[in-house]
A and B are shown apart, each in its own frame.
Chain A
Amino acid sequence: MKFEKDSLLTSGLVLPSVLLLLWWTGSMAGWWNAFLLPSPEKVFDSFVMSIQDGDLQKHVWASLERIIKGFGLSAVMALSLALVCSWFPALLVQLEPTLEFLRHIPPMSVIPMLILWFGIGEAPKIILIILATFFPVFMNVLQGIRDCDPKLIEVAKVFGYKKWDQFKYVILPSAVPSILTGLRLGLGYSWRSLVAAELVAASSGLGYMILDAEQLSRSDVVLMGIFVIGALGAFLDYGFLWAIKRYLKRGIEA
């Protein structure tokens, strides 16, 4: 089958459109209890009202701030540790069992200890995001560096590149697609852990907004919050994907 470029069929909007239509039809026809699944109009109205009140912006910014801090710190730590480990393999041998142990602990299971150690401020929320995002970034960076084609390293050796230059001009650039994939995965995980992070005695953020709405039995606000998290996450993910594609297409200009 031949698709027209940028047509509705290739844009990936068919399934959401069908689901929206079903949701709208079901709500209009009263196929389900409006409390269990409010109509699209009601959710949209809550969205508009929340924007008019300035509530949504406040919560979005609070969540984004946590994501930026948590994910940013996690990315820097994971990148640095992976780079150091690939430079000093003996260090990785020492760290690997500990990291493997930590990798299998669900971040949410440490919430009680985080509260005990860091209180109920911002720190446990940021740490939770760090725990959720560290390993996808770390593992991908390490794998990207390990997967560098040794034949390309030989080319650098022939032209007199010393070890550090081989790393800087061959190994690292060849690992960039893996690094970007790791960062992209990490960013996705940071959104997923956001609600859990904002369970920890938060007074702002999209996770808090959803939990607060649940307590007030406002399922329309809950749904609106879910949509906002999904839309923001997808938007950031597309941004990352765009950056990866642009990088791979253009290459690195020396």
Chain B
Amino acid sequence: MSWLKIEGLKKNYELEDMDVDALRGIDLDIEEGGFIVIVGRSGSGKTTLLRILAGLEKETAGRIIFKGRICGEEHPLPVGMVFQEARLLPWLSVENNILFPFHHEGRAKDMHSKAVSLLKMIGLEEYGNAMPHQLSGGMAQRVALGRALSCDPDIVLLDEPLGALDYFTRRALQRELAKIYLAGGKTFLMVTHDVGEALRLGTRVIVLNRGKIEASIPIELGYPRDRHSDKFQSLLDEVLEALDDAE
């Protein structure tokens, strides 16, 4: 039995009398504890796939099975999500943003120590009382990552979380993401445009093309990865080739 199985997932939009097939039958088995990176051109359906997994959109057909149970509104996937923009709530402090998944349950007040350990993990232990407008883009994205991890989800969804950041911040956060992933226990599903990033972080790279899976390439490299190594370069070529074939 697969840990997370996506079967025949389809998504169809209606745009001004035009039918758009965003996903045209995705079949995917995701292993527990993997770091799956989905790459593809704009409009290939990467974000749609992630949004369906997050419960933000409803699939037109197909199903998602987690630990043998079909997911839906009644049984959503246990996910935390980081979006392309940090999407912090501007009226909440950094600590309260991290604890946002607990506010509606009234448990946020008792979770100060959890917030402190998460703040430490994302390297912002001194910023618990800061407000979102006082943070840089990279810091805000770290807080968003802390928020996604705070509810201890089985699956962390990352929708181009580093896309809007400058090169240096992006590299620093890639290293931190790898560290957090290695620290344990979570399955990461990340969407990115950056093939280099996919290779630096992923244990498997999925190439998506026009709503279908073009290739699924396992990345059997340890961390940290040497991007000048022959193995890295040959895997990079393989992913780029799959993307070229997808044209």
* Number of residues of chain A lying within 8 A (CB) of chain B: 25
In the complex, per-residue mask of A158-178: 1 if CB is within 8 Å of any chain B CB, else 0: 111110010011100110100
Q: How many A-B residue pairs have CB under 8 A?
A: 66
- Which bracket fits the contact residues of B? 20 to 34
Tell me the smallest distance from the CB of B109 to a CB of chain A, in Å. 7
- B55, B90, B91, B108: residue with the most chain A Cβ atoms closer than 10 Å: B91
Tell me the smallest distance from the CB of B187 to a CB of chain A, in Å. 16
- Whether A151 and B87, one on each chain, are in contact in the complex, defined by CB atoms closer than 8 angstroms, is yes
- Whether A251 and B55, one on each chain, are in contact in the complex, defined by CB atoms closer than 8 angstroms, is no
Residues from chain B with a CB closer than 8 A to the CB of A165 are 104
In the complex, whether B21 has a CB less than 8 A from a CB of chain A is no
Separation of A251 and B100 alpha carbons in the complex (Å): 14
Apart from A158-B55, A173-B89, A252-B92, list 19 A-B contacts with CB within 8 A: A151-B85, A152-B87, A154-B56, A154-B87, A156-B104, A158-B54, A158-B80, A158-B81, A159-B100, A160-B101, A165-B104, A168-B104, A169-B104, A170-B89, A174-B91, A176-B91, A247-B91, A251-B92, A254-B109
Residues from chain B with a CB closer than 8 A to the CB of A162 are 104
Residues from chain A with a CB closer than 8 A to the CB of B232 are none
- Whether B96 and A158, one on each chain, are in contact in the complex, defined by CB atoms closer than 8 angstroms, is no
In the complex, per-residue mask of B195-239: 1 if CB is within 8 Å of any chain A CB, else 0: 000000000000000000000000000000000000000000000
In the complex, whether B79 has a CB less than 8 A from a CB of chain A is yes
In the complex, whether A253 has a CB less than 8 A from a CB of chain B is yes
Contact of B100 among A155, A168, A249, A253 (CB under 8 A): A155
- Whether A251 and B108, one on each chain, are in contact in the complex, defined by CB atoms closer than 8 angstroms, is no
In the complex, whether A245 has a CB less than 8 A from a CB of chain B is no
Separation of A160 and B104 alpha carbons in the complex (Å): 9
In the complex, whether A146 has a CB less than 8 A from a CB of chain B is no
Residues from chain A with a CB closer than 8 A to the CB of B108 are 254
- Whether B56 and A158, one on each chain, are in contact in the complex, defined by CB atoms closer than 8 angstroms, is yes
In the complex, whether B83 has a CB less than 8 A from a CB of chain A is yes
In the complex, whether A103 has a CB less than 8 A from a CB of chain B is no
- Whether A157 and B96, one on each chain, are in contact in the complex, defined by CB atoms closer than 8 angstroms, is no
- B85, B99, B104: residue with the most chain A Cβ atoms closer than 10 Å: B104
- Whether B54 and A254, one on each chain, are in contact in the complex, defined by CB atoms closer than 8 angstroms, is no
Specify the chain A residue showing the minimal Cβ separation from B107.
Answer: A254
Nearest first, the 5 closest Cβ-Cβ pairs linking A and B are A165-B104, A159-B101, A251-B91, A158-B81, A254-B108
A contact patch SS: helix
- Whether A159 and B87, one on each chain, are in contact in the complex, defined by CB atoms closer than 8 angstroms, is no
Tell me the smallest distance from the CB of A134 to a CB of chain B, in Å. 26
Residues from chain B with a CB closer than 8 A to the CB of A151 are 83, 85, 87
Separation of A160 and B100 alpha carbons in the complex (Å): 11
Tell me the smallest distance from the CB of B14 to a CB of chain A, in Å. 19
Tell me the smallest distance from the CB of B163 to a CB of chain A, in Å. 15
Separation of A251 and B55 alpha carbons in the complex (Å): 29
- Whether A169 and B83, one on each chain, are in contact in the complex, defined by CB atoms closer than 8 angstroms, is no
Separation of A184 and B90 alpha carbons in the complex (Å): 22
Separation of A165 and B105 alpha carbons in the complex (Å): 9
In the complex, whether B103 has a CB less than 8 A from a CB of chain A is yes
In the complex, per-residue mask of A62-87: 1 if CB is within 8 Å of any chain B CB, else 0: 00000000000000000000000000
- 19 A-B pairs (CB sep. < 8 Å): A151-B85, A151-B87, A152-B87, A152-B89, A155-B83, A156-B100, A157-B55, A157-B56, A158-B54, A159-B80, A160-B104, A165-B104, A173-B89, A176-B91, A251-B92, A252-B91, A253-B93, A254-B103, A254-B108
Separation of A14 and B70 alpha carbons in the complex (Å): 71
Tell me the smallest distance from the CB of A245 to a CB of chain B, in Å. 13
- A157, A161, A162, A253: residue with the most chain B Cβ atoms closer than 10 Å: A253
Specify the chain A residue showing the minimal Cβ separation from B54.
Answer: A158
Separation of A154 and B85 alpha carbons in the complex (Å): 12
Contact of A251 among B56, B87, B109, B131 (CB under 8 A): B131
Residues from chain B with a CB closer than 8 A to the CB of A155 are 81, 83, 87, 89, 100
